[in-house]
Structure 1
């Protein structure tokens, strides 16, 4: 594990790409402060439109997953005093992470040149759909359009059919960029410790997606959609079992004899009929017992049922007892656990402004009264909107 416990990150990330990047940095030991405007909160707070019984409507599962391990300061970056507060925090921090649409940082008066004047050694990590430059830089994208523009969608789906995109519920480009971006930031931070100075990191999700599948469309002028079929593999598909569940099977040429011994034939239709006569667990177990690669297709409940048996780190139980994303890696010498649950907007404003910004409590009272910053009121009703602490003007 790369220790980053001396690194302070100001997280302007929203939804997945930026927020998940900063969550990985928090896993690596960084102090991450999520900066969230009380007038424009992270859309993930209302993205899924659902919470579990007893949960606060401002902390739904999607938001908790990408924002555990962070402090939260409510700062209105459109307010002149809020902008000044943010720049004061920049002067005392190491990294700023953002994934706004291109042009937003400039309109806020927080472009890299401005941040660098506040802190010559600041690292600005900009994660965007199309990157900082080029004809599509200002184009607002979703995972589906990114997969289309990057070449990935041309490879998905079945022969003769339409492309199949991962969709908003998964959003593959957003998920993978978080791991790559966190690695770039960690590298830049360690390089800065060796005298490299501040830097603006430009991370394009479109280019990353093309990078990850580029060998496929470089190998042929017109890549074909094949579904589950694969050249050189005689049988590869998913088959429905007697209990309505599915079994994924891959059979190499040298395993066809084993298939014939089981199903009486070495063709896919015989396998389909054989699986259909058994439950999915039975079919997968029998296939594996005969040296054939097979696995039951698990849904979310099935995966969770294997916790502590087949996997341990992918999801973790946080300090608030809720399940959140776990860790991509582990350190036997220092086991990793979620450090803190996701916070309400402005839950740590006073602490951050006093400890990091050096503001007095009177200064913070005045900033709250001016609406430049907001502090979460723990006694506010659970309405799904921020409970703003009201302080009389001095």
Structure 2
């Protein structure tokens, strides 16, 4: 199948409709699990959203009046001016209920303890030791509820010389080595180390945290006891160095920025075409042979300098300019049409608009539109005044069905009155 033009939308006789409803009964493998989410910004909320997608009942505890920091990280905004939410906030808080509680007051801390007494999981990303002031630390709450899986997300972990330091994704990408590997090669005019275009360390930490939480819940099924999980952004970033860390530890080298090139595979980078760019991701010798044959240069694949990947890596400086000359002779789409049917890994470079109109993204239903009206009920805005909220669904499918919470991200304190009333009545964890 041909790919859409570089940087644009899919061309065709009819404009595809990106909207896709949720499956009628999405899988809810964590149904009955209760998650108390005290976290804010991205890493912790991302983990909480994943658990909500899998069916957990997630209550998000936020600061009165201001809520999660990301509520103010706009524009763009969603909703009316008096109840608007930032697009950033919406990306990480699907499927949750919101209650505003001041943890620093005795009354607020008591409410959190009530919720924690019946929770299965607690997520928090406060500075090390801060929650102990209010009796909401892991030791205190796990004494109250020995079955609690308590997950602490911090920049640098619960111990070590930087345990008290604030951790932000950008800083961790720098300290954790990722920026030293990202960007054009040193010496290229006008360049510098680059961060990745999304907060990947935060996101990976959220994913790592959720897998650790699920593992702890499985173990709790055998032992009846919870765990305290220490999830540090720096630890995750170092783990994410993957093959580059191994290149250093095994090879004794210090990996450097290489632009879009790969340290261990050639050709594996971006090339110019007659009208733009294309990615080649040649992962084995057979693919390289097919590339050469299709380009009309079969003899290059048998050249001893290029026949095997280790030789191609050794002779990168001679091979890459040769390939660059070939790639400039055709358009991106012409190369896609030539290479893709013959299993030569390649891809156009799409902008985000192009991504959401790509036929495979449409077929997989990665955009989901959730009803949003109830989020503004407290502001006296009729529900039918608000169109469905466009979000990106959880990428997992189970038995062919999309896994995603069916509730839009909540407005600040949207369910607060009902939750506080249930706690005041001594009813424990409030039902949805």
Quickly name the TM-score band, shorter chain normalised. Answer: 0.7 to 0.9
Q: Is the 8 A contact 1:23 1:66 kept in 2?
A: yes
What secondary structure, in the 3-state scheme, does the structure 1 residue paired with 2:251 have?
coil
Aligned to 1:377: none
Matches within 5 A, 1:263-278: 267-278=319-330
What secondary structure, in the 3-state scheme, does the structure 2 residue paired with 1:116 have?
helix
Offset at 1:333?
Answer: 6.9
Moved more, 246-255 or 206-215: 246-255
Taking a change above 3 Å as real, the CA distance of residues 332 and 111 of structure 1, as seen in their structure-2 partners, is same
Aligned to 1:322: 389
1:207 aligned to 235, 249, 257, which one?
235
Matches within 5 A, 1:153-168: 153-161=179-187, 164-167=193-196
Taking a change above 3 Å as real, the CA distance of residues 297 and 53 of structure 1, as seen in their structure-2 partners, is farther
Offset at 1:55?
Answer: 7.5
Offset at 1:87?
Answer: 1.1
Taking a change above 3 Å as real, the CA distance of residues 7 and 303 of structure 1, as seen in their structure-2 partners, is same
What secondary structure, in the 3-state scheme, does the structure 1 residue paired with 2:405 have?
coil
* Separation in 2, partners of 1:175, 1:73: 24
* Separation in 2, partners of 1:219, 1:71: 48
Aligned to 1:188: 216
Aligned to 1:125: 151
- CA displacement 1:103-130 (0-9 Å, x = unmatched): 3222343212222343232221001111
Aligned to 1:5: 31
Taking a change above 3 Å as real, the CA distance of residues 284 and 41 of structure 1, as seen in their structure-2 partners, is same
Aligned residues: 358
Aligned to 1:259: 292
* Separation in 1, partners of 2:194, 2:44: 21
What secondary structure, in the 3-state scheme, does the structure 2 residue paired with 1:66 have?
coil
Taking a change above 3 Å as real, the CA distance of residues 165 and 313 of structure 1, as seen in their structure-2 partners, is farther
* Separation in 2, partners of 1:39, 1:57: 12
- Gapped runs of 5+ residues in structure 1? 362-394
Offset at 1:341?
Answer: 0.5
Q: Is the 8 A contact 1:10 1:34 kept in 2?
A: yes
1:247 aligned to 269, 274, 278, which one?
278
* Separation in 1, partners of 2:393, 2:358: 15
Matches within 5 A, 1:295-314: 295-306=347-358, 312-314=364-366
Matched, 1:61 2:93: no
Q: Is the 8 A contact 2:116 2:145 kept in 1?
A: yes
* Separation in 2, partners of 1:185, 1:232: 34
* Separation in 1, partners of 2:363, 2:199: 23
Taking a change above 3 Å as real, the CA distance of residues 299 and 80 of structure 1, as seen in their structure-2 partners, is same
What secondary structure, in the 3-state scheme, does the structure 2 residue paired with 1:219 have?
helix
1:349 aligned to 416, 425, 431, which one?
416
Offset at 1:30?
Answer: 0.7
Offset at 1:6?
Answer: 1.6
Q: Is the 8 A contact 1:130 1:205 kept in 2?
A: yes
Aligned to 1:228: 260
Q: Give the structure, 1 or 2, with the largest relative contact order (CA under 8 Å, sep 6 or more).
A: 2
Aligned to 2:270: 238
* Separation in 1, partners of 2:294, 2:113: 71
Q: Is the 8 A contact 1:144 1:165 kept in 2?
A: no
* Separation in 2, partners of 1:125, 1:262: 53
Q: Is the 8 A contact 1:315 1:327 kept in 2?
A: no
Offset at 1:307?
Answer: 5.4
- Gapped runs of 5+ residues in structure 2? 1-26, 301-318, 373-387, 428-432
Q: Is the 8 A contact 1:155 1:223 kept in 2?
A: no
* Separation in 2, partners of 1:198, 1:23: 21
* Separation in 1, partners of 2:322, 2:144: 69
Offset at 1:154?
Answer: 3.4
Q: Is the 8 A contact 1:13 1:98 kept in 2?
A: yes
What secondary structure, in the 3-state scheme, does the structure 1 residue paired with 2:346 have?
strand
Offset at 1:347?
Answer: 0.6
Normalised by the size of structure 1, how large is the TM-score? Answer: 0.81
Offset at 1:41?
Answer: 1.5
Matches within 5 A, 1:273-288: 273-288=325-340
Normalised by the size of structure 2, how large is the TM-score? Answer: 0.74
Q: Is the 8 A contact 2:156 2:163 kept in 1?
A: yes
Offset at 1:2?
Answer: 7.9
Q: Is the 8 A contact 1:156 1:164 kept in 2?
A: yes
For the aligned residue pairs, the C-alpha RMSD in angstroms reads 2.9
Taking a change above 3 Å as real, the CA distance of residues 256 and 163 of structure 1, as seen in their structure-2 partners, is farther
Offset at 1:311?
Answer: 5.3
* Separation in 2, partners of 1:233, 1:334: 36
* Separation in 2, partners of 1:202, 1:163: 33
Q: Is the 8 A contact 1:36 1:72 kept in 2?
A: yes
What secondary structure, in the 3-state scheme, does the structure 2 residue paired with 1:194 have?
helix
Aligned to 2:200: 172
